[in-house]
Amino acid sequence: MSMRSRRQLSHIWIFALFAIGWTLGCIRIMTAPPGGMSHHMQVLFAAPFVIFGVGVWWIVLALIRAEFFPPPMGGVIVIDNPGRTLVRSRRMHPLAWSLIAAFASSLLASIIIVFALGWHPQPSQAHAAWIIIVIVSAAAFIASALRGGSFDVLTIDDDQGMVELAPSSENRAGMCIATSDIRSVVVRDFIRIDLHDSDGTERVISVDIEHTDGERHHTAFVCGFTGVRSAEAFAAWLRERLKLAETEPRLSG
């Protein structure tokens, strides 16, 4: 097993153990005596913890799928037209946005009710809070669904001999690269730094194109992935599509 696969498995184990512990904690909260709060408040208070636990399990299943059951071509959408191929990447599922909205709204509702009404709100007040939570979650789902489930990553134009990279967080202006200048497609593991937050970092597994511009060598970001195997599957397809020499994908920092 390669170093990067062991690293991916360690992340899965960490998230899985955290999810199990969090789930047991949620069960304890839900089954404990109400104590100094009403039953309606107990359910509302436990809601954000339960929703957060569902989100953690979602991450665990996504990591397992990306590592052990990678979709063909890394899960990207390929649209073939005569002389032109469009590659699109999938956005986060609308259900994920709905979970995030439900977590935030239930947490906010719990805090507001505790400070405004105490630990014993009327059943009608608790029901009104749940109605608001459902409306906010549904709105987040609908807004995400209307936005579309995918976005452009790159376009391969065989007639022009060009690869057009769509704008992204790593390449905000996009880029056009002549296919004759492309030397390789590599898988890279790096830490993305959020420029708006000095403490914000994110581990990204990306597929990059290495190309030349005269005497200089450049690396262009193409697409990011959750799992190494998904990234390698897409990189292998892209090499074949661009008719590049088959090489072992390397993971560089």
User: What pLDDT sits at residue 219?
Assistant: 84
Element (H, E) at 86: strand 84-90
Listed in sequence order, the residues at least 6 apart from 80 whose beta carbon sits closer than 8 Å to its beta carbon are none
Residue whose structure tokens are 């992204």: 168
Residue whose structure tokens are 């100094």: 36
Task: Judge contact between 250 and 236, C-beta under 8 A.
Answer: no
Residue of 11, 85, 71 whose CA lies nearest to 230? 71
User: What pLDDT sits at residue 105?
Assistant: 92
Q: What are phi and psi of 141, to 5 degrees?
A: -65, -45
DSSP, residue by residue, 2-14: -HHHHHHHHHHHH
User: What pLDDT sits at residue 193?
Assistant: 47
Count of other CB atoms within 10 angstroms of residue 53: 20
Residue whose structure tokens are 């060009």: 162
* Domain residue ranges of the chain, discontinuous segments joined by +: 3-69+93-147, 72-79+155-252
Listed in sequence order, the residues at least 6 apart from 4 whose beta carbon sits closer than 8 Å to its beta carbon are 189, 228, 251
Task: Judge contact between 132 and 109, C-beta under 8 A.
Answer: yes
Q: Give SS3 for 168.
A: coil
d(CA 189, CA 68): 18
DSSP, residue by residue, 53-91: HHHHHHHHHHHHHHHHSPPGGGG-EEEEETTEEEEEEEP
pTM above 0.85, yes or no: no
C-alpha distances out from residue 97 to 13, 40, 63, 101, Å: 25, 26, 18, 6
Judge residue 84's burial from the number of C-beta atoms within 10 Å of its C-beta, 0-12 exposed, 13-18 middle, 19 or more buried.
middle
d(CA 216, CA 242): 21
Listed in sequence order, the residues at least 6 apart from 217 whose beta carbon sits closer than 8 Å to its beta carbon are 183, 210, 211
User: What pLDDT sits at residue 197?
Assistant: 45
pLDDT one digit per residue (tens) for the chain, 253 residues: 555 566 667 777 787 888 888 888 877 777 777 666 677 777 888 888 889 988 888 888 887 877 777 777 777 888 888 888 998 888 788 888 999 999 999 999 888 888 887 777 788 888 888 899 999 999 999 988 888 777 888 899 988 889 998 887 667 777 888 888 888 898 887 655 444 444 445 567 888 888 887 778 888 888 888 777 888 888 988 998 888 865 544 544 4
In the chain, the amino acid numbered 127 is H
Element (H, E) at 216: strand 216-225
C-alpha distances out from residue 146 to 60, 63, 83, 191, Å: 27, 26, 30, 31
User: What pLDDT sits at residue 253?
Assistant: 47
User: What pLDDT sits at residue 192?
Assistant: 54
* Dihedral class, residue 74 (left if φ above 0, else alpha if ψ from -120 to 50, else beta): left
